[in-house]
Amino acid sequence: MLLKTQEPRGALIGTKRAKMKKNAMSEDANAKLSKYWYIVRLDSMGRCKTQIQSEAETFFKQQFAGYLGLKTVNNRNIQRRLVDGKTQRRDGEIAETCLRCFVSNQLKDFCFSLEQKFGKTHDFTREELLPLVLVEGEDRSLISRILDTFDPERSNLSTWTVRLVKGDRAIKRFLLERGIEHISDWLLLVRVTPGGLHRILTTFERTDAEIARSLQLLEQFHQIYRTEFLRDRKPGSHQAYPKPTPDQLQRIAQRLTPSPSPEQVLHQLQNLSQLLRRDRLRQKGVALPEDESLDIPKARNRVYQQAETEDEQSGFLNEYRQQFNSCLQRAVQTTIENRVAYFIQGRNTPRRREQAIEKSEKFLTGLRLFYCQGLSMGDIASRISLKDQPRVSRLLELENLRSDIARNTLSCLKKHIFQIAQDYANPDRLRDLATQIESLLSEEISRVMETDKKEIHAVHHNFPTSQLAQNICQYLNSQQ
C-alpha cells in the first residue's frame, strides 16, 4: 500500500492563499467588465440607480468571451472593437449600449470622488452632482458628447470621460460657485505677468511698498523657478509644475531685500498665488467672503489647488506629439512641392520649361541622394551632372529649405494646437497665452531644424537620423 505524501502545512497555506489571490484578481477583473452591461441612471426621484442591460451582457460575453476570467482588463482593445461595432447594422445599437454603460459608471465614479475629496469642506454631496452628468432626454447629453468625440486610437474612454466632464460647463459652474478650481499655485505664478500682478495688487488695494515687494518676489521666481523648469523639461515629459525645491527657495531668498528665510519665501509665494486665485474667481463672478484672509493656511482656504493630473498631461502631450509629427510631414511635402512649382513657374517657352523640369528633377534627385543615401555634395554633383559641390549646394539651398519647412510647420501647429488644448485649458486663458505658446512652438521647431543642421555639418555624414531628415526621406521615397 502506497502512503500519500503530505505537503508541509506552510506550503498548503501558501498554495491556498495563491489560489484565493488569483480568484480575487479574476473576480475584480470581471467586476470591471460588468461596467459594460450595468448602466447608471437617475430614477423619477433623482436617485442614482444601477440597472442591468441583459442584451448588452449577452452580447458582451459572446464578443469578448476570451476576456472573462482574466487577471487584467485591456479596456483599450475592448473599446476599439465596440466603437467599430457601432457602425455595424446588426449589432450597432447594442455595442453603443455597452459604451454608454461604461461611460455612465465612469461619471458616477467621478462624482463620488469629488464628494469624497471636497464634499465636506465645500458643502455638497454626490446627489447634487449626478443630475448634472447623467441627465437624459437632451439632444446631446454629456454621455452622447463623450461618445461622439471619442477616438480609441488617441485615448482610452476613462481618460476621455474625465477630461470632458471636467470641461463641462455645468460641472465647472457648480465647482466654481463653491470656490473649487483645478489649477496649481505654481502654474498661476508662472503665467502671471508683472503688469498683470500690478493690476491685481492695485485692485485689492495693496500699498505701494507691498506692490514693490510682490513684484520683486515674482521677478525672482520667474528668473529662477520658471527659467529652470522650462530649461529642464524634456519633450514628452508628463511632469506638472512642482513645488519649488529648497535650493530654489534659498536662491530666491538671497536675491530679495531684506532677505527672508526659504520658508518665508514659500509662504509669501503661496499667499501671492491665493491673491491671483481670488482675482480669477472674482472675475468669474464667484462670491467669496470679504473678510477671508490671504494668510490663512492652505488647508482652510476654500479654493481648491491641484496640478493637472498625469492622465490629462499625458493625453495632451500625446496628442500634441502626434500633431507635431503630422504638421512636420505636411510642411515637408508643401515646401518641396512649392520649390518644384517655383522652378517651373513662369517658364513659358518650351525650352525654358524643359530646363525648369530638368532642374526640378535634379533637385529632387539631389535631395534624395543626400537625405536617403547619405551621399556628400561632391558625390551628388557627378550623379546629377553638375560641375562641383557649390553648384549642388546652390541647387538644394538646405538653409532656405529648413526655414520654409519651419515656417510651414509653425503655421500648421498654430491652427491645430489650440483646438487640442481646449480640452485641457480654459479658452480665455489660451488666448492670453497665445504669444507664449507660439514662442514655445517656435523653440521646439528650431530644435528640430538645428539638429538636422548639426548632423549635416558633422565630419562623417552617413545616413540621416534627424527627425527632419527622416520625414524628407519618407516623402521623397513615397513619390518614386
In this prediction, residue 294 carries a pLDDT of 33
In this prediction, residue 311 carries a pLDDT of 45
Distance CA(91)–CA(84), nearest Å, equals: 10
- Count, in order, helices (H) and strands (E) of the chain: 23, 2
Helix (H, G, I), strand (E, B) or coil at 372: coil
CA 171 to chain centre: 21
In this prediction, residue 141 carries a pLDDT of 85
Which of 191-195, 207-211, 415-419 has the least mean pLDDT? 415-419
pLDDT band at 235 (very low <50, low <70, confident <90, very high): low
In this prediction, residue 463 carries a pLDDT of 61
The most confident of 248-262, 432-446, 452-466, by mean pLDDT: 248-262
Distance CA(66)–CA(73), nearest Å, equals: 11
Segment 38-45 mean pLDDT: 85
Segment 196-207 mean pLDDT: 88
Burial profile 138-171: b = 16 or more Cβ within 10 angstroms, e = fewer? eeeebbeebbeebebeebbbbbbbbbbbbbbeeb
Q: Is the pLDDT of residue 180 over 90?
A: no
In this prediction, residue 10 carries a pLDDT of 53
Sign of CA dihedral 423, 427, 430, 431: positive
Which of 139-148, 178-187, 397-406 has the least mean pLDDT? 178-187
**Mean pLDDT over the full length of the chain:** 79
Distance CA(236)–CA(318), nearest Å, equals: 7
328 against 257, higher pLDDT:
328
pLDDT band at 373 (very low <50, low <70, confident <90, very high): confident
In this prediction, residue 465 carries a pLDDT of 73
Q: Is the pLDDT of residue 83 over 90?
A: yes
In this prediction, residue 244 carries a pLDDT of 92
Dump pLDDT digits (tens) for 308-334. Answer: 444 455 556 666 777 888 889 999 999
Task: Name the DSSP class of 233.
Answer: P
250 against 440, higher pLDDT:
250
462 against 207, higher pLDDT:
207
In this prediction, residue 366 carries a pLDDT of 92
Distance CA(199)–CA(206), nearest Å, equals: 10
Distance CA(308)–CA(134), nearest Å, equals: 25
Dump pLDDT digits (tens) for 292-308. Answer: 333 333 333 333 333 34
Share above pLDDT 70 across residues of the chain, in percent, rounded to a whole number: 77
Q: To 5 degrees, how large is the angle CA 57–CA 34–CA 18?
A: 125
Distance CA(476)–CA(383), nearest Å, equals: 17
Judge contact between 384 and 362, C-beta under 8 A: yes
Helix (H, G, I), strand (E, B) or coil at 304: strand
290 against 362, higher pLDDT:
362
Distance CA(99)–CA(92), nearest Å, equals: 11
- CA dist list (Å): 319 to 220, 278, 340, 420, 441: 33, 32, 32, 7, 14
Q: What's the 3-state SS for 21-62?
A: HHHHHHHHHHHHHHHHCEEEEECCCCCEEEEECHHHHHHHHH
Q: Is the pLDDT of residue 14 over 70?
A: no
Dump pLDDT digits (tens) for 377-402. Answer: 888 999 998 888 889 999 999 989 99
